[in-house]
Amino acid sequence: MSRYLEQELRSRGSARVIVVLRAATGEGAVAAKRETKRLAPRFRKAGSSLALARSLGEASERYHVFPWLGVVLGTVDASGLAALRADPEVVDVVGAPALSPIRPNAVRAAKLQTAATWGLERLGAPALWQRGLTGKGVLVGHLDTGVDAGHPALSGAVAHFAEFDLLGRETKPAPRPRDSDEHGTHTAATIAGRAVTGRHVGMAPGARLASALVIEGGDAVARVLGGMDWTLGLGVRVLSLSLGFRGYWPDFLAITRILRRKRVLPVFAVGNEYAGTSRSPGNYSEALSVGACDEKGRVADFSSSQRFDRKLDPIVPDLVAPGVDVVSAKPGGGWQSMDGTSMATPHIAGLAALLLEAKPKATVKNLEAAIFASCARPKGMSPERGGLGIPSGLDALEAL
């Protein structure tokens, strides 16, 4: 039993759980819905979801089913947990730690004064554009605080938008794109921002986004799972997530593995809590974890890093990317600069989109391996802080 789940059951008598169904191994959404109906009696209406529902003046739900992921989120007591674990159609039952956005370490007013931001130049995006690669035809999942699709840099970039309410349900009819903060617009434009008066902030200006407002308040786990499920249904190949929960909790490992199995590269920020710390799922070996560097190639002091006692991928982050003084779009128009691993992560998601345009049939393993092979550590960068180092777009293309 997961440590988090054990603690919740001991302290509360019930716990929020993520139930991984055998349908998640490939049987599909129909099988997941069928099995959830059969398992429904195992879930309770009591627990944190009930308190939240009461505060919203709505009826509580026993569970949420996420059919494309093949998982169910619900509340159980000890007997319900035992029954789920004994069911042959259940692969695993894990806890549901609270997720939160990874806040920028600094935010500043800015002007866009160069043809391409320093981050795009550092990763070699302009050189890939010269090869005819812009990310055209690639759909990137973007789960954040939403997006201002009316910003000039994002004109035509947002192919799909969804919003998940405070209980994790997709709102209907589909709302107009909006950003509940400033974080999502900034990260979205770093992935797929279009040129504005000949100046670029986006790595893959031809890619399109499936952007969802999933974070800040409410049942964040349900909202994020809902966003992941929604993007899987749309067929995304890359998922950019500048969010997580502090510390190492293995409860989301199954979700990360499901994403990879369904041909999605999960790109996670490692966190802004300095050396010796990291965030889950960014610290899983199954995630492509991203730390932050500055324009001189130095790891940002706030960028999290950690060594784990495991054979596979013991050091996180896997690599670092531009995450200091990153200029990108501001909701309502204009530009601003932010620092954080949240800013580094969409750079790598955008790089992946460029590579996928070149090799649409590349597997997740191929894509990740090519990015890793392109990395180099500048003089003075410790692998304990910077992982493999900083990627090169052209070298990644060659490796792929």
Catalytic residues: 144, 183, 342
The four Cα atoms 200, 210, 180, 257 give a dihedral, to 10 degrees, of -110
Cis peptide before 173 (omega within 30 of 0): yes
Pairing label, strands 139-144, 158-163: unpaired
DSSP string, 302-348: T--BEE-S-SSS-EE-SEEEE-SSEEEE-TTSSEEEEESHHHHHHHH
Q: Which of 17, 34, 9 is nearest to 84 (CA)?
A: 17
Neighbours of 103 (CB within 10 A): 13
Query: Which H/E stretch holds residue 46?
Result: none
For residues 312 and 294, give the distance between their C-alpha atoms in angstroms, rounded to a whole number: 28
Q: How many CB atoms lie within 10 A of CB 364?
A: 20
Q: What tokens does 278 get?
A: 């990291």
- Secondary structure element (H or E) that encloses residue 267, with its range: strand 265-269
How many angstroms separate the CA atoms of 329 and 338, rounded? 10
Distance CA 179, CA 46 (A): 32
Encoded amino acid at 55, one letter:
S
